[in-house]
Chain A
Amino acid sequence: MTIDIDQSLRQILADVLGLSAEQVAGFDGETGLFGHLPQLDSMSVAGLLTEMEDRLGFIIDDDEIDGEMLETYGALLAFARAKLG
């Protein structure tokens, strides 16, 4: 199932940020997100988190949102996996 979370998360990033399939397929654990992708600002972070909730089926509390989880693709994926843990 871990493959599915990874694929879903890449698709969510593509959909919310308007990135190409090639670009999100090229993400690795170290790929920078917040502060690196110009499309990802604080407004779109809200949309990204809400879409993750809807598609992955969990609720993200206010105090779970921090800079670290959005720093890299690997950190965001680890967060999603931990939520579904």
Chain B
Amino acid sequence: MIATWPCPASGGGEASEYAFVQDRARRFRVLVVPALFDEANRLRRLTVAAMRLLDRAGLDCFLPDLPGSNESLQVLEAQTLDDWRAAVAAAARHFRASHVLAVRGGVLACAGLGLPVLAYAPVGGASILRQMMRMRVLASREAGQEETTAGLLERGLAEGIELAGYRLSAAMVAGLQAAEPGPATVIAQGDIGGAGLWLRAEPGEDAAQAAALAARITAECGA
């Protein structure tokens, strides 16, 4: 079902954000921090499929929208990585999470939560930016314009930039460029089997991967 939760707004105050939740007030409560930007779309079906299996295995789970992402009405361009960290911390408190599952770059929005973090295929912020800048360089070239990743990064750090359809603030670019995954129990793609669905050109799903991911999370939580 869909729930709302109070998220600190970047300009002060609070905004109401959505979360997909499976909440039966059980002992294990997993906050699921989604992958970032386009990877969130490609991994959403896998993420939700794993959550449904966790529900069946007896774990509650909560998938909040990061401010400015998915159904959020907040402006992405106003967000910084620290805003996302504050949002994840607020969601963890609101849903009384016992564990955190971070998907791909979602781990970068997990800091100082004081909860065990499981990181599925974690990735650094600089890699995420590099991939998005490369998409833009290739698209610009097809349109007959010459851009470079170095030039885009410089501009992004100075004034913010639109990459792969996402308008990122200068502070978000700087935050991502410096962000590395923090302490977490890593669930590597090799543990799940098959190829990472974030690699795919089109969003896909994989029941076997969802089952392996859910089984590993259940085991790591000790549920």
Contacts and interface: CB of A to CB of B under 8 A. Distances in A.
Interface residues of B, number: 21
B73 interface: no
B138 A45 contact: yes
A42 B138 contact: yes
B168 interface: no
B204 A18 contact: yes
Contacts of A14: 195
Interface string B122-155: 0000010011001101110110000011100000
A83 B134 CA distance: 19
A49 interface: yes
A62 interface: yes
A15 B88 CA distance: 31
A46 B200 contact: no
Contact of B138 (A15, A17, A65): A65
Interface in A33-81: 39-47, 49-51, 62, 65
A40 B201 CA distance: 8
A18 B201 contact: yes
Given A50-B130, A50-B134, A65-B138, A44 B201 contact: yes
A46 B137 CA distance: 9
Q: How large, as a class, is the contact surface on chain A?
A: 10 to 19
Contact of B201 (A39, A49, A50, A65): A39
Interface of B: 127, 130-131, 134-135, 137-139, 141-142, 148-150, 164, 195-196, 199-202, 204
20 contacts: A14-B195, A15-B199, A16-B200, A18-B202, A39-B201, A39-B202, A41-B201, A42-B135, A42-B138, A42-B142, A43-B135, A43-B139, A46-B134, A46-B135, A46-B138, A47-B201, A49-B134, A62-B134, A62-B137, A62-B150
The 5 closest A-B pairs by CB, nearest first: A15-B195, A44-B201, A46-B135, A46-B134, A42-B138
